[in-house]
Amino acid sequence: MTLNLAPMVDVMMCLIIFFLLAAKMVAAERHPVDLPWAVAAKEVEPSDLGARVTITVRRAQAGDDEAEYVVVDWDGERIVERVLEPGEVNVLLQNRAARAARENQKLRCVIRADRMVMYQHVEAVLRGCGLAKISDVVFTANSGVEPKEPT
């Protein structure tokens, strides 16, 4: 008697592809950003965050006051980082909010902002959340006390 392993291999292949894509998505969502520190920051797994749109606000260049808004998206073939114009942030949030409403989901906005960006750049995302009526907002931060910077 020979055990038929083909269905098992099929399932495992699907799982591998899923984790490969998930790992890529997570890596892209976690594009290196110098996050602020917060003692009260709770560590959560992204799966606990549910339906979400993650917006990374990073400095356009080191030492620059300008910022760029980055989202992770699927371009039909692969996962890509898309840099949005400030005006596009509102459109993105409103589109995602409308889609979530159609699918009866509660959408959450995750803001990953570089600690040294000016508040006006984060405020623009908060304003977009307000316009899109996304009330549930999460800020990512390093958990703990900010280490002393070398003088």
Partner 1 sequence: MRRLEPAGEVVPNLAPMVDVIMVLLIFFLLGTSLDLVTQGVLQTELDPSSGPGAGARVTINPLIRIALADLRAGQGARIFLLDEPLADDDFDGLYRVLRDRRQAGADPANPVVIGAETAVRWKFVVKAMDAAVRAGFTNVQFAVSFRAGSLGA
Query: Is 139 among the residues that bind partner 1 (CB under 8 A)?
Result: yes
The total of other beta-carbon atoms located within 10 Å of residue 54's CB is 21
Q: Which range touches partner 1 (CB under 8 A), out of 68-76, 77-85, 138-146?
A: 138-146
Give the number of residues in contact with partner 1, rule: CB under 8 A. 63
Query: Is 27 among the residues that bind partner 1 (CB under 8 A)?
Result: yes
Query: Is 37 among the residues that bind partner 1 (CB under 8 A)?
Result: yes
Cα(56)–Cα(31) distance, integer angstroms: 8
Q: Which range touches partner 1 (CB under 8 A), out of 32-40, 68-76, 77-85?
A: 32-40
How far does CA 116 lie from the centroid of its chain?
18
Q: Give me Rg for the CA atoms of the chain.
A: 19
Site string for partner 1, 110-129 (x = CB under 8 A): x--xxxxxxxxxxxx-xx-x
Residue appearing with tokens 């990374």: 56
Query: Is 50 among the residues that bind partner 1 (CB under 8 A)?
Result: no
Query: Is 107 among the residues that bind partner 1 (CB under 8 A)?
Result: no
Q: Which of 31, 80, 101, 135 is in the footprint of partner 1 by CB under 8 A?
A: 135
Query: Is 15 among the residues that bind partner 1 (CB under 8 A)?
Result: yes
Instruction: Please name the helix (run of DSSP H) or strand (run of DSSP E) that holds residue 56, with its range, or none.
Output: strand 52-59
* Beta carbons of 52 and 107 less than 8 angstroms apart: yes
Query: Is 143 among the residues that bind partner 1 (CB under 8 A)?
Result: yes
Q: Which of 32, 42, 76, 102 is in the footprint of partner 1 by CB under 8 A?
A: 42
Read off the amino acid at residue 67: A
Residue appearing with tokens 């709770």: 42
Read off the amino acid at residue 3: L
